[in-house]
Every structure is written in structure tokens, then in C-alpha cells.
Amino acid sequence: MIEFIGPKDAWVESTSGERLLFMLLRHHREYAFLVKTLSGSGLRLGGRFSDMSNFFVGASVLHLMQRMVKLAKDVIAEQDGRLDQVRVLRARMFDVLITPLEYGGDMGALVQEVLASAEQSTKELKPGLRDRVAKHGPPDCYSCGRTFGVTPPGETDPLARTADHVWPRALGGDSRFDNLLPACKDCNNAKEHIAAWQMAWLQPAVFTESHGNGGLKGLRRENRMALHMRAAMAYANQNGSTLRDAYLAIGPRIDPARLDDDQGYDFFNLRVHDEARTNVFWTPA
């Protein structure tokens, strides 16, 4: 099953960037062709067909989104009027990124959404919004679960409370309450612009049998965060929620564990969430 492609959007969007993602998945003919080709290929991909297919589709569409948003930022910096921005961006997108033959939706709406996503990257939190996130969010970091520290004046505290954009600003994440959760400075900095697990570096999450379960203690934080994102995306998909609500439902990440003891220690055979509590299950395939 290709998790991004289906009869409905993968989860309930709350940002411009998520709307852009779903527009591309719904209307970009090449992604539909890629899914169809992979589904009928008969490939095993080392016994990771479903997992690797999801990675290929997700990584490619997110890569295109990054290029579109960067192109829009350049156009916004050069052009003052909205009409000129739309005209120039549309022309450059046609020349470099996408054609009407590849995209079957409303190209004008797509250009507007790309511009809207690019504009989010420069928007700061409104006064009082950070306090609202702290007051109504979980008392600990939503990602790692550690208790926030108290930062003395003039000092840097890795556990200082910050407001993290669930869908990152760099990919169109709005600076609004339903896209923000309280996170420690360490986790916020480590996450950076990662929007989905397909953007994470998966190769370091491969261990030999000699490591045993104890070897998982050395799993990089970025890989743990990507596994946490994967669980949140799966929860949002099967429950029809926003990503923010999904993170609140599954709770902070826990120590990594293998899914199948008969398989190796790779990204797709690991989890950092409580399956029984969250009812989020997957098997390496």
C-alpha cells in the first residue's frame, strides 16, 4: 500500500504546505504513474517493497515541494506585486519544474499555493501565541518527553521550551496554534525542516546482529524523530486527524525496539511508539 496515495488525503491538513502536498499527490500524473508502476512491478526490493515504495513516492514529492517553495521565495524577493509574482513563478515553474501535461489540476491554484507556502517561511509567531501553545500544550516536550528546563538570563538551555512548527515553516507550515506544539530547544533544532519521515537520513539506522537490542541506544536522534513522525502520520491517516492531534495522541517517542525479531535492525524494522496504546501497527514489508 502506498500510504500517500488513496481515495482521500492522508490526513487533515492545517497548513498551506500540507495543502500543496495534497494538491501534488492528487493531480501530478507522474506520481500516479509511479504508484501504478511500483504496485504492478512484482519487485521485492530486499523484502521491503511497501516500505521502500512509500519512501520513493514521499521523498520525490517532498523534494519537488522544496524546489517549488525555494523558487517562489526567489520570485517574491524580486517581484513586488502579486500579479507579477504569479506570472513570473508560473513561467519559471513551466520552464524548470512542471508542465500542464504532468499536472492535471488547476495550475493557477497550484501557483497561488506555492506562493502562500513560501510566504510562511518568513512569518513570525504573533504576540501571545507562544504562551498559548505553552499553556494549552503538553507539559513536557512533545517529541522526546523530557521536562522543560528553566533558562537563567544570558544562558542557553537545551531543554528550554520552544514552539515547534509541526509542519515546518520552510515547507509552508503556518505560524498558527493548530500547527504548533511545545518542544525542547534540542528537539526543535534537531528537527529543522524535516516535514515527514521520508526526508530523514535512513541509512544510519542499520545495525548488525552483534549490536543486539542494546545497540539501539546508539540510534541517532534524527532517526528516532523520523520514526516518531512515521507513527504520527500513520495515526493521522487511520483516524482522520491533523498531525498535531496525532502527535498528542501517540505521545512522546519511547526507546526504540524491533518489530520483528527474525529480521535485522534497519529503519523499517524499528518503532519508537507504544503499539498497544496507540493502535498503530506496521510490519516490515
**Letter for the amino acid at 43?**
L
Which tens digits make up the pLDDT trace of 181-195? 999 999 999 998 999
- Average pLDDT (258-280) is 90
Which tens digits make up the pLDDT trace of 102-137? 999 999 999 999 999 999 988 888 889 989 998 998
pTM: 0.91
Confidence of residue 35 (pLDDT cuts 50, 70, 90): confident
Quote the pLDDT of residue 231.
95
Residue 237, pLDDT > 80, answer yes
Quote the pLDDT of residue 151.
60
- Domain C-terminal end among 95, 120, 145: 120
User: Closest by alpha carbon to 215, among 267, 272, 265, 274?
Assistant: 265
- Domain C-terminal end among 192, 218, 238: 192
User: Closest by alpha carbon to 179, among 134, 243, 113?
Assistant: 243
- Domain C-terminal end among 69, 88, 120: 120
How many structural domains compose the chain?
3
Quote the pLDDT of residue 1.
43
Same domain, 141 and 225: no
Helices of type H across the chain: 16-27, 29-39, 49-78, 82-96, 107-120, 129-136, 185-191, 221-239, 243-250, 275-278
Same domain, 216 and 231: yes
Range of the domain at 254: 196-285
In-domain check, residue 8? no
